[in-house]
Structure 1
């Protein structure tokens, strides 16, 4: 044990990291493994002893100080006030907040066989009200595990995801054409509100994977039903925070948030159901004519698994939401930062051109040879995680985290925005420095930046979203020099359930 401790201290000293926390953890682990009783261990504390704001102060922070839009910043403020763990009540919900990589790891290593993200109570209440099934984002236990296993075969295996690069490249081609159309409308080549274009690109991409058909998001004139679907998603996410903060009895006194929330979901289910039914009808007609049916899209795979149609409708509807904001946010912030760091943009462009060696359209295999591309996306997701905080509800037993006993069924918020901006883990944390991911000796804690989550509840669409990002960024950089708005300033993020730009990101696209 002493030899191992010394080696660990020396290794960490060489990498510039503090050895103390890991050494203590190692000592404790060794004592447990040896069956020793450590008489110096502090007694486990209860939730009553955990620091945190009073209900009145927390409500003031949230509502009087525009807190709902700055929940990500409240993480940083709370760490300064209370340390890496604190409790707070959000409406009727008591939440334990965890904002240190090692503590987040403790939670996730104890999450059990069927971990829960959070109750998403208003989402579930809507499904119960309308008689809809639960999808991957709302189901729990064995139901969730069964669907996760089915979808994982087509969304998590690298070889399965690579098969979508042709489909996604077709969508990227339409995005390039749309950017050209938009830039011609301004004498400076300025495209305003770039996030809205990337939102439509993300929705078109995930629709192509789900339905193997197009819904017109990148057409010069977007179809009315598609535009309404986009607006329904945006409004639903805004209403999610409000409806979850309100006890259900308040819906009778203040019905507008709940009614608006339900109307958005109604249209989203209707939209998805229409496309699902259309695709399955086309397949049935082919079979009736004796034609061979070969589908690669996910609706086809799910329809062949024996899942009830209610479950297929719910899962496809939720999957439509899952990847869109990831693409829109990550694309917008990536080009925003690259426009403000032209040296990094030029180096990345050279990497892409070198790998392609004269070709103009990259494939999935090409991306594997683009380390800077991956580092840029990692750094963007560190600075602007799509979900600034994730959650877990441990249902099987009480757990111990950071010296506190957390009773089972307690909502635990994992504060990813705070950990990814922690200067103890990432020096100069607010700076865009992709090179920090190229240095293997940097030794970042593996749970310090986990934008797609970790473990069984990690984002199932991660590989498809990443592939779509890489393909789009590579081709945009081949076609354009991207520059910041000459009249614009810095853009900050805000929370809208997800982390989004506080103001429009406008960029110049200069033809190369």
Structure 2
């Protein structure tokens, strides 16, 4: 029986609070103190001890900051005890608000970097490119995912590459890198197979006169592509029925035939949402999981699907090795016909390492790409002139039916600019975090100000989404969707400071699958616009933002969908569209 994930953390917390209580009972043993007084003193000693501990901690941090000529970033303060009102506010924003709400106003008032103390813990938030550069690159050895991050992610990500530090992270990175080191023809075979299936599925539904939830479709496409790429066994999520719009009679049949692929996909999504909620709750989440693991039921569904595949791969490798078909010095070589799992088992046969690494890469290879393609289609619906220009480039470079290859994609400048602009306004991972190992400082944008002090153990939460929309980095039109900014003179802003655009992270932990993702997204968009010449958002079906959002500046006031995020960004309740089929080539 597994120990619930919250229990060890709660016991550790109680142990930290025990010294004053123990001291009271020791004193009562030697002195005649009534039982009622002992109990009252024990209860009173805990908050007194906490107050002393917090005050002493702040005092030490201020002295350490002063010793190196630094100062804390400005503070974002609430009105309730321990800034508990801010914790409640951000939970409400997650449920009902726009991405970045609460932080946007704080940045406008306090600058690119500020300290948000929740329940007396330092939490540094930043959208400053120079601070993010330091965290991800120039001071990389001093910043880790850390034990707090790993604790709430562990029941899903385990010890995979996105949830480890130090030697274990290096091991996973080294194990994974060779498979992403070059473009392989087999990748394009996978893209073609599943994009053609997805487009056929979409065309069939559109010919019924019904709208299609493009987000649901593209999640299926990326899950099928990722599963075949990773372990050579397609989950075949595209084979199940697409959902009908919720305002149609047929919608009653949407859940009639749930397949094993549906169960896997839905369980995996729920598990990710659960661990993301833990992260937003901070130190409170363990108290909500003292007696149960909220990811357990969903991860059982995931594991029941995945573990037999992993077991079969290990058995196949063992048989081939015993038969002398595998040489010891081949472990670093990647063969054209092998899957990612085939490659991994030649590095390790540890079932837990294989399990965790596959799930980590599945999230990276599926959710991020699906989200970006969903937002890409939204922008094509909103800006027909951009769709027309992009389709023109596709038809001139590839034609109306030919399969694109790597050179085609590499040469299509507007397609790359279009994808970059999608990733700028809606990066796949809007928020991320690192923890400082040792005391350090971060650059202060005020040339006359002291550098910002970051105490050891402090998290720095950085928002690529908010950084990508800063007008001082991108110009006054930063909130306008315009792919030409990556082609005209405005590109000089990015050339002057490459760290203002980080859709794939940066530094030693930069995404290994960056080019794979560009290839997959480009391939699908080319196939899509070879088959369809126009598209429209179905706003009567789409879950729209609250009407009052229209009065706000920027994308919050512009966009006609409700953006959300757990680990990655997505559209609430899907992205409902209709598309016009292209005329056959004469």
Question: What residue is the counterpart of 1:30 in the other structure?
Answer: none
Q: Which has the larger radius of gyration?
A: 2
Distance across 2 between alignment mates of 1:420 and 1:414:
12
**Residue of structure 2 in register with 1:463 after alignment:** 515
Partner of 1:52: 76
Tell me the CA shift for residue 487 of structure 1: 4.3
Matched ranges for 1:63-102 at <5 A: 63-66=91-94, 70-89=98-117, 94-102=122-130
Correspondence for 1:496: 566
* TM-score of the two chains, using structure 2 as the length reference: 0.72
User: Is the counterpart of residue 433 in structure 1 residue 500 in structure 2?
Assistant: no
> Which residue of the partner structure matches residue 310 of structure 1?
352
User: What is the rounded CA distance, in whole Å, between the counterparts of 1:327 and 1:481 in structure 2?
Assistant: 22
Q: 1:125 to 1:69 in 2, by over 3 A?
A: farther
CA distance in 2, matches of 1:197, 1:275: 24
Partner of 2:296: 262
| TM-score between both structures, scaled by the size of structure 1 | 0.81
Unaligned ranges ≥5, structure 1: 1-41
Counterpart pick for 1:198 among 189, 213, 218: 218
Residues 351-390 of structure 1: pairs in structure 2 closer than 5 A = 351-357=393-399, 359-390=401-432
Check conservation: 2:382, 2:537, Cα contact below 8 A.
no
The higher relative CO (CA closer than 8 Å, separation ≥ 6) is in 1
Gaps in structure 2 of 5+ consecutive residues: 1-66, 242-256, 327-334, 445-450, 545-559
Q: 1:66 to 1:53 in 2, by over 3 A?
A: same
Give, in angstroms, the shift of residue 63 of structure 1: 3.2
The DSSP-based 3-state class of the residue aligned with 1:459 is: coil
Distance 1:259 1:314, change over 3 A: same
- Cα distance between partner residues in 2 of 1:264 and 1:437: 41
- Pair 1:320-2:362 in alignment: yes
Query: Which moved further from structure 2: 493-502 or 277-286?
Result: 277-286
2:260 corresponding residue in structure 1: 225
**Equivalence for 1:35:** none
In terms of mean alpha carbon deviation, does 281-290 or 325-334 score higher? Answer: 281-290
Pairing of 1:100-249 with structure 2 (within 5 A): 100-113=128-141, 115-117=143-145, 119-126=148-155, 134-155=159-180, 157=181, 159-161=182-184, 163-185=186-208, 187=209, 190-191=211-212, 193-221=213-241, 224-246=259-281
Contact 1:84–1:99 (CA under 8 A) maintained in structure 2: yes
Cα distance in structure 2, aligned partners of 1:51 and 1:249 = 22
In 2 relative to 1, CA 441–228 (structure 1 residues): closer, same or farther, beyond 3 Å? same
How far apart, CA to CA, are the structure 1 residues paired with 2:192 and 2:290?
A: 44
Secondary structure at the residue paired with 1:482?
strand
Q: How many matched pairs?
A: 460
**What does 1:250-289 correspond to in 2, within 5 Å?**
251=286, 259-282=293-316
- Distance in 2 (CA, whole Å) between partners of 1:351 and 1:277 is 46
* CA distance in 1 between partners of 2:129 and 2:171 (Å): 30
Please report the RMSD computed on the Cα atoms of aligned residues, expressed in angstroms: 3.0
How far, CA to CA, are the matches of 1:50 and 1:435 in structure 2?
Answer: 36
